[in-house]
Structure 1
Amino acid sequence: MNNFMFYSPTEFVFGKDTELQTGTLVKKFHGTNVLIVYGKSSVRKNGLLNRVKKSLEEIGIVYTELADVQPNPTDLKVYEGIELGRRNQVDFLLPIGGGSVIDTAKAIAAGIPYEGDFWDFFTGKSVPHIALPVGVVLTIPAAGSEGSGNSVITKVDGLKKLSLRTPEVLRPQFAIMNPELTYTLPAWQTASGITDMMAHIMERYFTNTPGTEVTDRLCEGILKAIIEEARKIIADPYNYEARANIMWAGTIAHNGICGTGCEEDWASHFMEHEVSALYDVTHGAGLAVIFPAWLTYMINHNVGKVAQYAERVWDVPVSEDQKAVAQEGITRLKAFLCEIGMPTTFRELGIEHPDIDKLVKHLHANKGERVGNYVPLDRQATREIYEIANS
């Protein structure tokens, strides 16, 4: 096991009607002038936005609104939010939504006090040392951004989708999590979120670091719970306990606990980022295509952990033929993804003729000549994985 630091100071307020505590929590963390960030129409239609605004008004907190954050959020909305926040002298960011909204708010929070271009943080030109505090009202369990210091933004010019990881600066002060707010999520969005959180765990699970049995077992147990609870939600979208378990799983999948003591991979996420940047597909659905292809490649290059994953997560019987065990695990993963309505090929994702040359070129321009750690992938390897996803 490697040395590690695990830092997770976010206060999670979980359960029914917890959004009514928003004003109290903002005040607790010294917010007085809030920029509310949200997406399209759902938070208006279901009354959540009004409930949150009322809780702020009752405690004397003023606010400004930034609406219409899109999935796969772009730098344009971040620039708009930075300008709006500075003009109104906000001192607190309050995203209401899922990962796209939260990531946008985090980028704004880092950008407002910074004298340069916030994109400097995403390219590595600069590191954020200060940011406005962020509090979250979560509506979509998927990205885990409510419990992490991460943000992913796409720059429209050049379609560069890059991530920022700053757990000490951008981890939210609080996250309000009411599973009832997820009842009316479309089945596609629910399934995409489930796939995303599973991928967050798997990016950490597939490691060459020895001696990580406790972390491995955490990952395996959470994955098995997600699979079980996902099937309950498919059968009954209003199953509160299943929704609650999935919402909490999305948080702990990405708050760092599943990666303690090990070297993480992240090649599949980087490869998918190029797909969603170029074709604007749902991130979780893109991962449903890329991750099985990545695992298939690994059968012939580093089969050990893939076979363990098949045995412990998908209950494939132990055998001396590790490749056969691993292949059966991938088959069961793909069957589960199909069961919850996810694609497993580019064609099923709606991309008939993916430009693999462009995907490979952009990937390595953004992430270097070798991507990932479980098996460092060069251009030939990532091309092969994209081609497997296209077969």
Structure 2
Amino acid sequence: MKNFNYSIPTEIFFGEGQIKVLPEQIKKYGTKVLLVYGGGSIKKNGVYSKVVELLNSNDIKFWELSGVDPNPRITSVRKGIQLCRENNIDFILPVGGGSSIDCSKVIAAGYYYEGEPWDIVLDPSKIRNALPIGAILTLAATGSEMNAGAVITNMDTNEKLGTGNPSMKPKFSILDPTYTFTVPKNQTAAGTVDIMSHVFENYFSSTKGAYVQNRLSESILKTCIQYGKLAMEEPENYEARANLMWASSLALNGLLGYGKESRWSVHPMEHELSAYYDITHGVGLGILTPYWMEYVMNETTIDSFVEYGVNVWGINPDKDKLQIAKEAIEKTKEFFISLDIPMHLEEVGIGEEKLETMAKAATRHGSLGLFRPLDSQDVLNIFKAAL
């Protein structure tokens, strides 16, 4: 296990009715709020009206930035920064999933940056400070409610990139599983895959001796397997929604990666798919993951897949190692299929024409991953296998 520093300062208010703490939490930081949300689902499910009621009854002024896209755009970030500066905003409140939260984080950081906001996406070292933000989560998926990272898309340049800074971590997040009851089946499925993919990126690592982290990772994967399909079939099943929501936060709050050396593989590959084709992030991850697993599984990495197969899928450890590894990958694919995740790029409108361009873009800063490093040809091979 590697040395690490541990800090997860976001305060979590988990459970039904926890939105009652919203006014007192906001007032720790300010009274002029930018409310950030997406396509309007929070108005249909009643979350918006509850937030507005609490803000108005506690003399908290607010302005709105709506229409944040599922792959949040730099154009929304620019609008948000302008609103903050024009109205002396001192707190940002995203209500929604990872897209609204990510957009808010970069708005918060861009408020203090005098140049073009895309600069701080390209180069996070330029981030010096950020407005405080809180989050009300309505979709279990990205884990953005409890970390310092954000992913933003620039449609003009076909780039979808991650950025981050400790100042961008939410001061608090309200996690009420009932707010996810109205999430459609397809989004529940994509969110479940996204959570699992975050775990995979840390779980499949060349670092030895991180026993605690690996067992935690396996428990979160088993949670997704236990409750992902159930949440789709019974959308108002509180137990299922609650477990998925907490799994989302734990999968990417740093806990699983501390003490492990990691560089992600599948996420940067999928970011290129989203940047060029604007597909749902979790769907892209679901398509690529089994093909990535098949590609990187070799004599050096096979033990990790055996461990995964035995501990997560309950495969008989007495079987041949290669058989266990292959069966584990197949079970992963079967589970994604059971969630109605497509298994081929062509099913989401992606053909061969841009695969090479995307493979080169994914590796423009060097190889992907440390578990088995991938160059542009490797990425292209995986893309082609996934067609």
Cα distance in structure 2, aligned partners of 1:176 and 1:220: 25
How much does 1:354 deviate? 5.6
Structure 2 letter corresponding to 1:384:
N
Q: 1:234 aligns with which of 221, 226, 232?
A: 232
**Alignment-derived partner of residue 64 in structure 1:** 63
Q: CA deviation at 1:244?
A: 0.5
Q: Deviations over 1:126-145 (max 9, x none)?
A: 43121000100100110000
Residues 4-153 of structure 1: pairs in structure 2 closer than 5 A: 4-27=4-27, 29-124=28-123, 126-153=125-152
Query: Is 2:150–2:162's contact at 8 Å kept on the other side of the alignment?
Result: yes
- The equivalent residue for 2:202 is 204
| 1:312-343 deviation per Cα after TM superposition (whole angstroms, max 9, x unaligned) | 11112224632221111010001111111111
Query: What's the CA shift string for 1:93-145, capped at 9, x where partnerless?
Result: 10000011000000000001112222222212743121000100100110000
Secondary structure class of the residue paired with 1:337: helix
TM-score under structure 2 normalisation? 0.96
Select the residue among 381, 384, 387 that pairs with 1:384: 381
8 Å contact 1:212–1:261 — kept in the other structure? yes
CA distance in 1, matches of 2:236, 2:58: 32
CA distance in 1, matches of 2:244, 2:321: 31
- Output the amino acid matched with 2:87: N
Bigger shift: 13-22 or 108-117?
A: 13-22
Q: Which residue of 2 aligns with 1:255?
A: 253
Q: Which runs of 5+ in 1 are unaligned?
A: none
1:194 aligned residue (178, 192, 206): 192
Deviation per CA, 1:59-78: give whole Å up to 9, x if none. 11111100100110110010
CA contact (8 A) 1:212 1:262 kept: yes
Q: 2:387 matched to 1:356?
A: no
Return the alpha-carbon distance in structure 2 between the equivalents of residues 354 and 44 of structure 1. Answer: 40
In structure 2, C-alpha distance between the alignment counterparts of 1:320 and 1:20, rounded to whole Å: 53
Structure 1: how far apart are the matches of 2:379 and 2:89? 43
1:215 alignment counterpart: 213
Is the CA contact 1:120–1:126 (under 8 Å) kept in the aligned structure 2? no
Give the conservation status (yes or no) of the 8 Å contact 2:352–2:384: no
CA contact (8 A) 2:220 2:247 kept: yes
**Is the Cα contact below 8 Å between 1:76 and 1:156 reproduced in 2?**
no
Q: Choose 142-151 or 369-378, whichever is displaced more.
A: 369-378
Deviation at 1:7, TM superposition (A): 1.1
CA distance in 2, matches of 1:338, 1:14: 31
SS at match of 2:384: helix
CA contact (8 A) 1:39 1:69 kept: yes
Query: Is the contact between residue 20 and residue 52 of structure 1 (CA under 8 Å) also seen in structure 2?
Result: no
SS at match of 1:258: coil
Task: Give, in whole Å, the separation in 2 of the partners of 1:353 and 1:382.
Answer: 13
CA distance in 2, matches of 1:260, 1:126: 21
C-alpha contact 1:139 1:182 (8 A) present in aligned 2:
yes
Q: Is the 8 A contact 2:124 2:163 kept in 1?
A: no
Q: List alignment gaps of at least 5 residues for structure 2.
A: none
